[in-house]
Amino acid sequence: MHADNRRRRQTNGIAFLILTHVAALLPLAWLLLDLARGRLGFNPIREAILRTGRYALTLLVISLACTPLYLLTRWRTAIVVRKWSGLYGAFYAGLHLLAFAGWDYGFQLDLIWLDVREKQFIWAGLLALLILIPLAITSTPWAMRRMGKNWKRLHRLVYVADLLAVAHFLLLVKADLRRPLVYAAIVAVLLLARIPLVRNALRAKRGVG
C-alpha cells in the first residue's frame, strides 16, 4: 500500500514537472510564433523586450511563492517547481537583456552605455540579472554539496534580485503603475512569509489543518 502511494506520488511529481517545463516554455513559443507571423505590433523589438521582462518577473514571483505553499501544504513538488521557475525566470531575464542589447542596439556598447547612464531602471534590471546568473549556475546538486551552508547564504540573494526586478518594472512604467504595484505587493507579502514569526505561523496553520 505504501509502495503504491509512493509510486503514485512519484508519477504525479514527474507529470507536474513536465507540465512546469511546458508552461514555462509556452510564452517563448508564443512570442516566436507572433514574431514569425508579424504580430508584435508596430514596434516588435519593444514588444519582445516587454514580454520577456514580464515572463521573467512572473516566473520569479512563482518561484518565490513555492516556499510558503510548501510550508502550508507539505507538497514536495513545490520545491521542484521553485527551482525550475527560478531558472526559467533567469532564462527569460537573459533573453530580456539580449533583446535590449542585441536586437535593439546591435551590441553597440557605446550606445548602450549612453542609455544605461541616463536610466535608473536599466541599472536595477542589470543588477537583478547579475545576481540571478550565479544563482542559476549553482542550482545543481553538485554545487549544493560543494558549497554546503554557503549555498543557502548565496541563494538568499534571490530576494534582492526579486526586489530589483520589481524596482526595474516600477521605474520603467511612467503612467499606469497598477501592474508593477501588484507585482510589488505580491513580492512584499511573499518576502514577509520568510520572517521566522510568519514561517512558524504557516507551519502551525498546516499542523492545525
pLDDT digits (tens, 9 = 90+) for 130-148: 999 999 999 999 999 999 9
* The C-alpha cell that represents 59 in the structure block: 516566473
- Segment 96-121 mean pLDDT: 91
Nearest CA-CA partner of 58 in 24, 18, 34: 24
Residues 158-178: pLDDT tens digits? Answer: 999 999 999 999 999 888 899
Specify whether the CB–CB gap between 83 and 123 falls below 8 A.
Answer: no
Do residues 48 and 40 make contact, with C-beta atoms less than 8 angstroms apart?
A: yes
What are the residue ranges spanned by the domains of the chain?
2-208
Predicted pLDDT at 71: 85
What is the structure's pLDDT at 150?
A: 93
The whole model's pTM is what? 0.90
